[in-house]
Chain A
């Protein structure tokens, strides 16, 4: 039995009979004492982040309501921890907003800034039992759980230090022929009933393209995947459950725009030209709120760096930003609920669906699978599209990067950042067509460069935001001299950060634009 316990489905037995079920009960009682514990009905709201971070970390979190008490239970098995709550919690909720305690501390590094969302509701009857050794010491905690959605399940959780005896109990149970070992929690059953898959959808970067696939078909599949991401993140952005919904929505929009820009010629004529302005509108719609989000997320760290001013001097500025964010959010929500956005999503989906090849996406006329066949109508197949666009994106990065310097105008570094993003999107979206040995190190090194360029750009944007709001706050009655001085220091700190990031970006670019990476690009784009 593992440290986290043993779980199995039990044969169906009437609840008033032996809670362990006749055969299982008899097997356990042949060697151990079993004491009956309480029976309770528990309503659970199962929680996870939108991107299933708890599931990925092997955790299950439930908000339980029973006997008038509210608790959070983080499991599974022996590592289970329970936090009783003094008041009900409304979901979704950020981990930061949960009551202080060890459970919140365990959740914090896993969930991060993502909200905990309800993913399923269940109602169960739980019968607690204890399995005792000859000294009447509990060596295993047993729990028989019954619910409408799944067969009765037995969980055995070994008490620490009694693994050997717990192993014996598990062996006795597993030897009963009617027992079906395996986990399959109430959560799994509830998710299966609701038609949801733990872990969520794989996303567009996991789409497996084939080299001989038609280029329009391949691109349409990727773009449909991106549209799915945009649409999936709209409700969370509108409700403002956490800031990552807007971030992920923006990334999907940017990827779409980059794909249209770099590979739009693979689509039927006029399509890219028609939709590109609409996706630009969507991207621009989301920018002001994201700029405020990044500043507010970074606020504590920034105020922690202040030397002259006190962090509290910026409280009024933070409150001002939050008020401003509320206004920007209203504007964003209007945009996402507008007829223009609805029409864009519908028309884009219809257009892309029409491009899908009925014959599973093979190029209409078969030729050498990975050859770079291009014509006036664009690349003939996915391999050719992936190869030509990767080379183009790489060339643009290298060309622009050659002109950057520590004292280059901010726009140059900003443009380089955009080119690097395009290169990254090409590497990720067409990832299944490049050899992993060439692609992975490229992405890894590119990521480091992008982080530096991102830090440069964030500092630039944040400085502009602080300056802009300083002007607005001068007219506000709440703006004190201390706040204004602290904002001045903030601008200076951001300036220092930006200069540091510029230096780092130049160094990182030199380490990225190397003959070795050029060879990697050649390997990724060559015909095998």
Chain B
């Protein structure tokens, strides 16, 4: 079972859109796929028309009063299931903190599902917290959407440092440019110049497109309702790249 986590310290970078589309593409490729919406805002859960509710909330899930397997719901798409968000996830840090081995809880909740799923995608809330530390220990790959700005790159540096400092096992970290506006010179320069100079940044960019907002109207991943759009193709390219095994990136330093 491979575990990907769409993760960013900043909010509004396209994490949920990425998680939803990657999970859909994994299932379309034949993987038995689970998307876990860890964000109490429950955007991914809403997109799939599923009630954002887990019996007993975060506490019952972490303490295993409710098993993860029982909380899972099938989506409208074959091969793609969802572990829904719950508003109590806003306290997930506290719940983890009170549990034994507080940094391994997430991985332990996923372990019994290894025989059922080939791919798991975690849609993480934007923060650096105990939830993040759990994600780092559970995931094989962090997929980081990066808006092509100087500040975003700085945040990415902070994230890679955070990963390097964390205890093993550490995930591979890959970033891609998200919400790219080619009319902006800075966006063009970074997208064209950076991937070749810096390890860990994939030569894949996902455009800023109005079609992404239609996901909430269509309640479906982009390739379902706009299969030929550049956005759908970008997500397909991203999935193709990361599904073949990401390059391990622990030294994310700028060269030259």
Contact = CB atoms under 8 A, between A and B. Distances in A.
A129 B18 CA distance: 28
A432 interface: no
A106 to B, nearest CB: 9
Interface in B61-94: 71-76, 78-79, 81
B31 interface: yes
B118 interface: yes
Nearest to B76: A138
Interface residues of B, number: 18
Given A102-B118, A160-B72, A137 B78 contact: no
B74 A161 contact: yes
Contacts of B75: 138, 159
A83 to B, nearest CB: 4
B193 interface: no
B79 A81 contact: yes
Given A137-B50, A160-B81, A102 B32 contact: yes
A84 B50 contact: no
A257 interface: no
Nearest to A35: B76
Given A136-B49, A137-B49, A162-B73, A84 B79 contact: no
B26 to A, nearest CB: 10
B33 to A, nearest CB: 10
A506 B145 CA distance: 65
A500 to B, nearest CB: 34
Contact of A102 (B30, B71, B73): B30
B218 to A, nearest CB: 12
Contacts of A27: none
Interface string B199-213: 000000000000000
Contacts of B76: 130, 137-138, 159
Given A137-B50, A160-B81, A82 B73 contact: no
Contacts of B81: 160-161
A80 B27 CA distance: 12
Given A136-B49, A161-B72, A162-B73, A82 B78 contact: yes
B153 interface: no
B70 to A, nearest CB: 9
Nearest to A102: B118
Nearest to A82: B30
Contacts of B118: 102
Interface in A113-154: 130, 135-138, 141
B194 to A, nearest CB: 32
A42 interface: no
Tell me if B's interface is mostly helix, strand, loop or mixed.
loop
B186 interface: no
Interface string A79-108: 011111000000000000000011100000
A141 B72 contact: no
Nearest to B30: A83
B29 interface: yes
Given A102-B118, A135-B49, A137-B50, A81 B74 contact: no
Contacts of A136: 49
Contact of A161 (B29, B73, B78, B79): B73
Contact of A141 (B50, B51, B78): B78
Contacts of A84: 29-30
B1 to A, nearest CB: 10
B74 A160 contact: yes
A83 B29 CA distance: 7
Contacts of A80: 78
Interface in B21-79: 29-32, 48-51, 71-76, 78-79
Contacts of A135: 49, 51
Most buried by A among B31, B72, B76: B76
A160 B79 contact: no
Contacts of B51: 135
Nearest to A135: B49
A130 B49 CA distance: 14
A84 B30 CA distance: 7
A17 B194 CA distance: 58
Nearest to B83: A161
Nearest to A158: B74
A135 B73 CA distance: 14
Given A83-B30, A84-B29, A102-B31, A160 B49 contact: no
A198 B48 CA distance: 40
A82 B79 contact: yes
A83 B118 CA distance: 13
Contacts of B49: 135-137
A456 B225 CA distance: 63
Nearest to B118: A102
B30 A81 contact: yes
A140 to B, nearest CB: 10
Contacts of B72: 160-161
A98 to B, nearest CB: 12
Given A82-B78, A135-B49, A160-B81, A103 B73 contact: no
A162 B72 CA distance: 10
Contact of B32 (A81, A130, A141, A162): A81
A101 B30 contact: yes
A241 to B, nearest CB: 26
B86 to A, nearest CB: 14
Contacts of A137: 48-50, 76
A128 to B, nearest CB: 10
A374 B49 CA distance: 79
A159 B29 CA distance: 19
9 contacts: A81-B32, A81-B79, A82-B30, A84-B30, A101-B30, A103-B30, A137-B76, A138-B75, A159-B74
Given A102-B118, A103-B30, 12 more contacts: A81-B30, A84-B29, A101-B31, A102-B30, A136-B49, A137-B49, A138-B76, A159-B76, A161-B72, A161-B74, A162-B73, A162-B74
The 8 closest A-B pairs by CB, nearest first: A161-B73, A159-B74, A160-B74, A137-B49, A83-B30, A138-B76, A102-B118, A135-B49
